Structure 1
């Protein structure tokens, strides 16, 4: 055991915010008035003779670089793990404390100041728990729990675009307009893939899963919840019969246009609070347990990583668009906004004014890891299923997945042809503003990193 060079350790730290904390993830701020289940920062550290890697998956909607860079520097000081070997990502639950300003949902500065120390604690604890270990990659297909939320509508239906004032070619989440649906516009990535980690004594250490379901969101507005990500982790630990030290982690894949609000078959799930999340979490955990019969364990996996910061342009309003937006902002009482067609125009007018202050370019992090015979990629926004599927084509052995919302939050990053179609994910704002060629640039960068590993 002393000569076994590969080691791994996990830890989880409770990051549940107090009642009254601001929640983001919708168009307006919400405030926590009920805590349904705890939120966690979950860390996995892996180490071989020359390399140490950190995966830190956090029950939160989004985290941006101005927040994460501070956390990473402290972790590097406390653990010696290089910045480029750290991956920190959001699960994207929409029922967590807010550390980023999105649309009309604002930052809770008290929670933002409290959270860094908890993330650092998780990383430090995971490193301290390192023990001789082995890894295995697994997968299974589970298409029942995800659908494309972008729809092509009947002739005559006009999906309104609040940024341009014009008409889109697709409609995202057509509440109330189900009868006008023609078809969905894309296919999700329906596979769950995972990296399993055990001690060489065959005791469970942790499991890092990846599934491209945006989130479930089956609870009331003021509820704190880890969503199906937390339900999966709890069900997995129970199904495996793992000890209290085991940490199950669900990361968000390429799910930008994928959810479980099925407008073509809306009654196929139970409707009570958290019931869909529990059903989906248990189903995914059961799939993992069954698929473990087929995995091959690697006792001495070699570790490596790649990290790059890529310059990408931004979509910003023209001078004419900016002037129109300013005029609308001047006429709007944002404390009493109504979410009808005019209200959405008012929200997105404010977005144009704020977006105009951004630089014309930004540095976007892209990252890849080798762990034994498999690979894991990391992208910093909400990417569509098409992106993940195109990358996976180059890895027919199934030992690859893409973790999104990692190391930054740059908003939605749709493929260029999707941007032309419009729809909510494509409306220009602070959470959808990268240039038309950004998806192509970032995907190709990640593919090059993967190939180099």
Structure 2
């Protein structure tokens, strides 16, 4: 009898930070004063012959390359998995410890040092759990929880751009101005894709899902929570009747401009802490469980990887602009400003320009893809718009492809060029939105070429 050649392993490690930890993901620092549910680093290892792929999802807002490269190098030395074969991504919960500086949310260095080892532990545990396995790809549309947060407003509304001082064509998250909305501006990607993994005897090992919903954020500022990503994982385990060894993972798709803050129908969802996350996670889990009835299982899926470090240009303040921003920074006491102040955005983004001016003129951007049997996964290190994901899905294998964002790096928002021209929060030049105007098209083209190279359609 021929030995079964494909193996998989899954594991998760608790990474919940202690009370007092810095939380980022908003304009200013927050500090953990409540832990609502645990956070995890969740790992999947797939092995076929000489090829081993590692996928890790981490319940955190963002991780940048300097941090992740250290993690990957350690894993490579311990387990022999090349760095290019490792995909490590953030879920993008905004209620987790901070290991990257985002706007005025700073790094918690103690937690960052601790997290590095915990991610490595998750990889080791999944590797040690390798056993003969099979995989199945599936997808189901779930458009009901997706809204574009970028709006055209009525002609009298002034959407101020704090970097240029001019007026934007769109307004992101128009709190308090809901009555002035004319229409939203982009089409969400409704697809809920997934890669299901069972032991060869039919036991559930893991399931990696992908949905283009930014995050929910339905809890108090100082709360630690995995957001809807965590509620999905718990709900899908119950839906599948899986045992405690099962690992459910939800990854963030192309959701840079997509959320579920319904400005036009404010009573659409329950308003209690975590109630919306629980509802959305549960509905998505039920949709996956129902869809699995149609899945075809592959017991010997081939594995392959493509990886490109694409050198991309940056948008930076000009020599003429910089003195204006420096003057604002000199005049500002950043210890005392707070969200809602009249000049808050001007002051925050002036600081961003001064810091961004010190960046190099270009940087490497990781573009990665995995072929797994008849399907594929793309990985991009930023927040891309739904348009990018939909175009990539039209290139990849039908119903068996999705893009994981916030993977292998975090450069912030990478909007299409025509969206950059319209302005809005995601497009304001800063350290979390600074790639060149043509970056999205070039990066998307490289990833599409990788997918075409697999020859899976």
| Superposition TM-score tier, normalisation by shorter sequence | over 0.9
1:290 paired to 2:290: yes
Q: 1:341: Cα distance to partner?
A: 4.0
Indicate the residue corresponding to 1:129 in structure 2: 129
Structure 2 distance, partners of 1:113, 1:58, is 15
Indicate the residue corresponding to 1:5 in structure 2: 5
The 5 Å alignment of 1:384-423 reads: 384-395=385-396, 397-423=398-424
Q: 1:320: Cα distance to partner?
A: 1.9
1:28-57 alpha-carbon deviations (Å, 9 max, x no partner): 000000000000000000000120000000
Indicate the residue corresponding to 1:43 in structure 2: 43
Structure 2 distance, partners of 1:266, 1:213, is 18
Q: 1:338: Cα distance to partner?
A: 3.4
Q: 1:158: Cα distance to partner?
A: 1.0
1:296-328 alpha-carbon deviations (Å, 9 max, x no partner): 000100000000100000000011211000000
Indicate the residue corresponding to 1:358 in structure 2: 359
Indicate the residue corresponding to 1:202 in structure 2: 202
Q: 1:264: Cα distance to partner?
A: 1.3
The 5 Å alignment of 1:161-172 reads: 161-172=161-172
SS of structure 2 residue aligned to 1:282: helix
The 5 Å alignment of 1:248-263 reads: 248-263=248-263
Structure 2 distance, partners of 1:96, 1:397, is 34
Contact 2:23 2:98 in 1 (8 A): yes
Q: 1:397: Cα distance to partner?
A: 2.2
Structure 2 distance, partners of 1:54, 1:346, is 41
Q: 1:375: Cα distance to partner?
A: 0.6
Structure 1 distance, partners of 2:107, 2:33, is 17
The 5 Å alignment of 1:318-337 reads: 318-337=318-337
SS of structure 2 residue aligned to 1:73: helix
| More deviation, 228-237/330-339 | 330-339
Contact 2:375 2:397 in 1 (8 A): no
Indicate the residue corresponding to 1:374 in structure 2: 375
Structure 1 distance, partners of 2:398, 2:380, is 21
SS of structure 1 residue aligned to 2:151: strand
The 5 Å alignment of 1:111-130 reads: 111-130=111-130
Q: Which runs of 5+ in 1 are unaligned?
A: none
Structure 1 distance, partners of 2:91, 2:318, is 34
Q: Provide the TM-score with structure 2 as the length reference.
A: 0.98
1:431 paired to 2:432: yes
SS of structure 2 residue aligned to 1:89: strand
Q: Which runs of 5+ in 2 are unaligned?
A: none
SS of structure 2 residue aligned to 1:336: coil
The 5 Å alignment of 1:188-227 reads: 188-227=188-227
Contact 2:376 2:397 in 1 (8 A): no
Q: 1:2: Cα distance to partner?
A: 7.3
Residues 338 and 22 (structure 1), Cα distance of their counterparts in 2 relative to 1, 3 Å cut: closer
1:224-281 alpha-carbon deviations (Å, 9 max, x no partner): 0000000000001111110111000000000000000011111100000000000000
1:166-201 alpha-carbon deviations (Å, 9 max, x no partner): 110000000000111000000100110000000110
Q: Provide the TM-score with structure 1 as the length reference.
A: 0.99
Residues 165 and 341 (structure 1), Cα distance of their counterparts in 2 relative to 1, 3 Å cut: farther
Structure 2 distance, partners of 1:66, 1:397, is 34
Indicate the residue corresponding to 2:79 in structure 1: 79
1:58-87 alpha-carbon deviations (Å, 9 max, x no partner): 000000001000000000011100000000
Contact 1:316 1:433 in 2 (8 A): yes
Q: 1:365: Cα distance to partner?
A: 0.2
Contact 1:254 1:383 in 2 (8 A): yes
Indicate the residue corresponding to 1:440 in structure 2: 441
Q: 1:395: Cα distance to partner?
A: 3.4
SS of structure 2 residue aligned to 1:28: coil
What is the number of residues matched between the two proteins? 453
Contact 1:305 1:370 in 2 (8 A): yes
Indicate the residue corresponding to 1:308 in structure 2: 308
SS of structure 1 residue aligned to 2:160: coil
SS of structure 2 residue aligned to 1:44: strand
1:157 paired to 2:157: yes
Q: 1:145: Cα distance to partner?
A: 0.5
